[in-house]
Amino acid sequence: MPTSTLELLRISATTAPAPGVRVVPTITKLVDTTTCIGCKACEVACQEWNDLPPETTVQMGTYQTLPDMTANVWNLIRFREHEDNGALSWLMRKDQCMHCADPGCLAACPAPGAIVQYTNGIVDFQQDQCIGCGYCMTGCPFDVPKFHPKTRRVYKCTMCVDRVSVGLQPACVKACPTSCLQFGTKDAMLEIANARVAQLHANGITHAAVYDPQGVGGTSVVTVLAHGDRPELYGLPRDPTIPVAVRVWKGPLKWIGNLAMVGGLLGVLVHYVRFGRKDHQQSVAGDQSKQ
């Protein structure tokens, strides 16, 4: 829901530059996993604000609502038990779209305007333009976009772009009772995150770190992890990037392919001008003269 086309930074599958010229600060959602109590208020707030049909929960033997996000569940608190030298810890992580600065979904998308990125950093799917090919699912390094089998289109967190564009914070942040979720400019959120990490270090949690992966240009969802040295414990990739296959496909392969196809057409044109049509009358005569 763009408030203005002046805030469109990137548009999928376009042949023209995006029109965004308005300079706005990059917004960011901060997730401090060390203060998450697993209450799921954010999950409920997300369902309610976006008015999404409820999904039947699955008893997984943990505090997790569902095994994975779905086309109707864009926000899932992932829960893992982790044991380290006899010390048990509950690791909770907010799984949602990370809103990458360099979004793999957008790079892979073949449908013009189905995925856009706003100048404030929000990556948003426009389902009316989506053709349901699922390439975004291959482009995403976080396994976020989810295919809806009925509409045959793909869905994910919008960062409550409708709220943010009128100056409100995302619904999940609004609902969070522990301020584990905070919302503001990227600079402000990184400052808070770094201060929190320093505090955790001082308290003996020496591996605490900020997760803002640079392989995708940084993300608009920044996470403070107690085990910052091992993001895999939370189910986060250590160094996410747009898959090599997608980069090759949309980069060199595209140019090689286009050149080859145009070259092939030019080649047959040149052949026709130079050699033209076969004339079997003539060469049959040649055959006979040989005999």
Partner 1 sequence: MSGGGRVVRYVFRERVLHALTALSYVYLLLTGLAFWTPGLYWVAAVLGGGYLTRLLHPWVGLVFSGVLLWMFLTWRRDMRITPEDRAWRRAMRHYIRNEDAQVPPAARFNFGQKQLFWLMVIGGLALLLSGLVLWFVASIPWQLRILRDAAILVHVVAALATIGGFIIHLYMGLAVVPEGLHAIVHGDVSEEWARHHHALWLERGQPARVPPATMPATKNDATSRG
**Sole binder of partner 1 in the list 14, 89, 194, 203 (CB under 8 A):** 14
Q: By C-beta, is 58 or 202 nearer to partner 1?
A: 58
The contact mask relative to partner 1 for 124-153 (x = CB under 8 A, - = no) is -----xxxxxxx-xx----x--xx-x--x-
CB of 28 to partner 1, least distance (A): 26
The contact mask relative to partner 1 for 248-277 (x = CB under 8 A, - = no) is xx---xx--xx-xx--xx--x--xx--xxx
Size of the site for partner 1 (CB under 8 A): 49
Q: Which stretch binds partner 1 (CB under 8 A): 80-88, 183-191, 216-224, 246-254?
A: 246-254
**R_g of the chain computed on alpha carbons:** 26
CB of 135 to partner 1, least distance (A): 8
The contact mask relative to partner 1 for 15-44 (x = CB under 8 A, - = no) is x-----------------------------
Residues 6+ apart with CB under 8 A from 231: 211, 225, 237, 238
Is 244 a binder of partner 1 (CB under 8 A)?
yes
CB of 283 to partner 1, least distance (A): 4
Q: By C-beta, is 83 or 150 nearer to partner 1?
A: 150
Is 61 a binder of partner 1 (CB under 8 A)?
no
Q: By C-beta, is 139 or 170 nearer to partner 1?
A: 139
Q: Which residues bind partner 1 (CB under 8 A)?
A: 13-15, 110-112, 129-135, 137-138, 143, 146-147, 149, 152, 243-246, 248-249, 253-254, 257-258, 260-261, 264-265, 268, 271-272, 275-281, 283-284, 286-287, 290
